[in-house]
């Protein structure tokens, strides 16, 4: 059976060119593409792509670690990553981790075993010790501040942006401010918690543990938050909600219960998702699609250890 070298010889092109044609990769002249196609037809070549990978060491697959599919935050990141992958003719291998360390290690192992060319970790469960064992095998890209590590990263400064958002609520007259978070134990959440505690100190406000609402990921989680608020003797007057979709759930639920926004409860969202615009939610714009795009480009970039901080922007609307 003809192999890739035979094809290259017959077509009068390099093995790399044959591989590019087989992978539908751009940047091959139509002339060469045609020559390869003819050679393939004449030799009745049925390639085994895994063999191609063995010879080339490139798979045109990029791994993406996400905790779960179908979440608006990761949905927007994935949108950016995936659109850019389409443009560059790469495919994505999805690693849904449910925040289990083992599943993230599996992704790292696929990088080690050259089954993927690079790995994007959208939200990390592994410690740095574990991740750094694998940097030798290929590019690893993270969506958190990873300066000083042997990886690349695109990130926002969660401490600073959270602190600024809290100050904005305070300037608008609020002293009792709570927040809703997706996962308290996440690395970004820890930065936010730090900002929250230091902000409280700054304004001489007490730390009230039940002003923090954990596990707020979806629209329907807003129902739970409003329920808890109505049961409090001394509820917060403002909430920083780290996802617009949760903020939308809270607002919808407040309307039903006759809680007026922002008079009785001020709400500040995060992300500036389309729903924030339509529901007039004051929010912090985080360009997630743009971040996803940059994460992908860092993954296919041979230059390692690039780091980019993305700026957030306060969008004032009607809920604060």
- Per CB under 8 A, the segment of 81-89, 185-193, 207-215, 303-311 that binds a copy of itself is 81-89
**Judged by CB under 8 A, does residue 113 bind a copy of itself?**
yes
Backbone angles phi, psi at 80, to 5 degrees: -65, -45
Cα separation of 253 and 164, whole Å?
A: 27
**Judged by CB under 8 A, does residue 88 bind a copy of itself?**
no
**Judged by CB under 8 A, does residue 214 bind a copy of itself?**
no
Query: Quick one: 115 or 306, whose CB is closer to a copy of itself?
Result: 115
**Judged by CB under 8 A, does residue 83 bind a copy of itself?**
yes
# chain residues binding a copy of itself, by CB under 8 A: 48
**Segment 1-40, which members bind a copy of itself (CB under 8 A)?**
24
**Judged by CB under 8 A, does residue 220 bind a copy of itself?**
yes
Query: Quick one: 93 or 208, whose CB is closer to a copy of itself?
Result: 93
Query: Quick one: 74 or 159, whose CB is closer to a copy of itself?
Result: 74
**Judged by CB under 8 A, does residue 127 bind a copy of itself?**
no
Query: Quick one: 195 or 275, whose CB is closer to a copy of itself?
Result: 275
**Judged by CB under 8 A, does residue 171 bind a copy of itself?**
no
Q: Are 188 and 146 in contact, with CB atoms under 8 Å apart?
A: no
**Judged by CB under 8 A, does residue 218 bind a copy of itself?**
yes
CA distances from 27 to 32, 89, 195, 263 (A): 10, 11, 48, 59
- Per CB under 8 A, the segment of 112-120, 166-174, 199-207, 310-318 that binds a copy of itself is 112-120
**Segment 275-294, which members bind a copy of itself (CB under 8 A)?**
275, 277-279
String marking each residue 40-79 x if it binds a copy of itself according to CB under 8 A: -------xxxxx-xx----x-x------xxx----xx-xx
Q: For a copy of itself, which residue of 138, 249, 269, 287 counts as binding (CB under 8 A)? A: 249
Query: Quick one: 23 or 191, whose CB is closer to a copy of itself?
Result: 23
Cα separation of 314 and 316, whole Å?
A: 6
**Judged by CB under 8 A, does residue 315 bind a copy of itself?**
no
**Judged by CB under 8 A, does residue 98 bind a copy of itself?**
yes
What one-character-per-residue DSSP string does the chain give? ---HHHHHHHHTS-HHHHHHHHTT-SS--HHHHHHHHHHHHHHT----HHHHHHHH---SEEEEEES-SS-HHHHHHHHHHHHHHHHTT-EEEEEE-TT-HHHHHHHHHHHHTTSSSEEEESS--S-HHHHHHSGGGS-EEESS--TTSSSEEEE--HHHHHHHHHHHHHHTT-SSEEEE-S-TTSHHHHHHHHHHHHHHHHTT----GGGEE----STTHHHHHHHHHHT-SS--SEEEES-HHHHHHHHHHHHHHT--TTTT-EEEEEE--HHHHHTT--EEE--HHHHHHHHHHHHH-SS---EEE---EEE--S--
- Per CB under 8 A, the segment of 102-110, 151-159, 230-238, 264-272 that binds a copy of itself is 102-110
Q: Where do contacts with a copy of itself occur on this chain (CB under 8 A)?
A: 24, 47-51, 53-54, 59, 61, 68-70, 75-76, 78-79, 82-83, 85-86, 91-96, 98, 102-103, 106, 110, 113-115, 218-220, 222-223, 249, 252-253, 274-275, 277-279
């Amino acid at each position: 059976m003809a192999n890739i070298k035979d094809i290259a010889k017959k077509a009068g092109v390099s093995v790399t060119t044959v591989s590019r044609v087989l992978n539908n990769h751009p940047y091959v002249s139509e002339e060469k593409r045609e020559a390869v196609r003819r050679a393939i037809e004449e030799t009745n070549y049925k390639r085994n792509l895994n063999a191609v990978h063995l010879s080339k060491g490139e798979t045109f697959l990029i791994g993406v670690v996400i905790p779960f599919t179908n979440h608006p935050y990761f949905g927007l990141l994935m949108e950016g990553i995936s659109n850019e992958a389409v443009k560059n003719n790469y495919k994505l291998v999805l690693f849904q981790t449910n925040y289990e360390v083992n599943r993230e290690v599996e992704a790292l192992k696929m990088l080690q075993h050259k089954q993927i060319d690079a790995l994007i970790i959208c939200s990390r469960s592994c410690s740095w010790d574990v991740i750094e064992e694998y940097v030798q095998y290929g590019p690893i890209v993270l969506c958190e501040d990873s300066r000083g590590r042997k990886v690349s990263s695109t990130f926002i400064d969660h401490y600073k942006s959270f602190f600024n958002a809290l100050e904005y609520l305070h300037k608008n007259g609020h002293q009792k401010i709570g927040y809703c978070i997706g996962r308290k134990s996440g690395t970004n959440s820890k930065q936010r918690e730090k900002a929250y505690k230091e902000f409280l100190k700054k304004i001489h406000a007490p730390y009230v543990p039940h002003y923090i609402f954990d596990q707020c990921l979806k629209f329907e989680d807003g129902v739970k938050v409003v329920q808890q608020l109505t049961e409090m003797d001394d509820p917060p007057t403002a909430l920083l909600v780290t996802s617009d979709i949760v903020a939308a759930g809270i607002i919808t639920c407040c309307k039903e219960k006759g809680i007026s926004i922002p008079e009785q409860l001020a709400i500040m969202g995060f992300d500036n998702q389309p729903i924030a615009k339509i529901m007039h939610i004051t929010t912090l714009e985080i360009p997630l699609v743009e971040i996803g795009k940059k994460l992908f480009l860092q993954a296919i970039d041979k230059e390692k250890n690039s780091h980019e901080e993305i700026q957030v922007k306060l969008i004032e609307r009607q809920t604060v």
